[in-house]
Amino acid sequence: MLMLEIHTVHPMHPPLTHVEVRVLGSLLEKTATTPEHYPLTLSALVAACNQLSNREPVMQLDEDAVTSAVVTLRRRSLLRAIQPAGSRVTKYQHLLNEALDLDARELALLGVLMLRGPQTVGELNTRTQRWAEFSGLSGVEQLLDTLVARDSGSLVTRLPRRPGQKEQRFAQLLGGEVVDSAPATVHDTPPASAQVAPDARDAHMAALESRVQQLEEQLTALRAEFTTFRAQF
């Protein structure tokens, strides 16, 4: 197995842990895709972190792990706890837009990379459709270039192409050094039978991912509403 390690100036000192990255990424996702249920309660945040769809890798975090990450992120001014008027339930919102001076489209790209790991421009273009509007692949690539070349420290890095792959992938740097584990070349080139109609296959997978995400977001919203209702008694 070929190990490629990328050294870049990181914007976070110290880097975020994988749990902190998942917490912030989940908050970024929900503020863009379900703003009516944002900010999130602790239980809703745990559910968002542990979603089965649109997560790579899938994680199983308990409330203690998420709470510990929340405490650290609050101390670093990357997350805020609020208590809406008339409610006894504490809710959480991210502060990445303020801390890093990012707009909605930059946050969308960063959020998807935080939740799903390294991806190509095409994958990011598909998977950010519910987060923000982009002017096609060129618009996505231009913003990625901006995130790579920030004077205050790169938020995204380009990964070297794996053997047999044509498209370059990008990864977020909030979690520190990026280590890319590339399989042997023979595994990078799919058999001819797997190369049939890639556009149709990608569109079908994107539609399935979108539907599963919508269902999980509805479930998360219902759980949050139930938690809020129960806290009133």
pLDDT tens digits, 122-173: 999 999 999 999 999 999 999 999 999 999 899 999 999 888 888 999 999 9
Mean predicted confidence (pLDDT) in 173-194: 58
pLDDT at position 195 is 40
Query: Phi and psi dihedrals of 60, rounded to 5?
Result: -125, 85
Residue 190 lies in a domain: no
Instruction: Please give the model's pTM, rounded to 2 decimal places.
Output: 0.75
Domain residue limits at 35:
2-183+198-228
Residue 156 lies in a domain: yes
Give the span between the Cα atoms of 172 and 153, in whole angstroms.
12
pLDDT tens profile 72-118: 999 999 999 999 888 889 999 999 999 999 999 999 999 999 999 99
pLDDT tens profile 196-205: 344 445 545 5
Residue 16 lies in a domain: yes
Residue 44 lies in a domain: yes
Q: For a pLDDT cut of 70, what percent of the chain falls above it? A: 72
Q: What CATH number does the domain containing 17 carry? A: 1.10.10.10
Residue 24 lies in a domain: yes
Mean predicted confidence (pLDDT) in 216-230: 64
Residue 127 lies in a domain: yes
Q: How many domains does the chain have?
A: 1
Residue 104 lies in a domain: yes
Residue 193 lies in a domain: no
Give the span between the Cα atoms of 17 and 12, in whole angstroms.
11
Does the pLDDT value for residue 1 go beyond 70? no
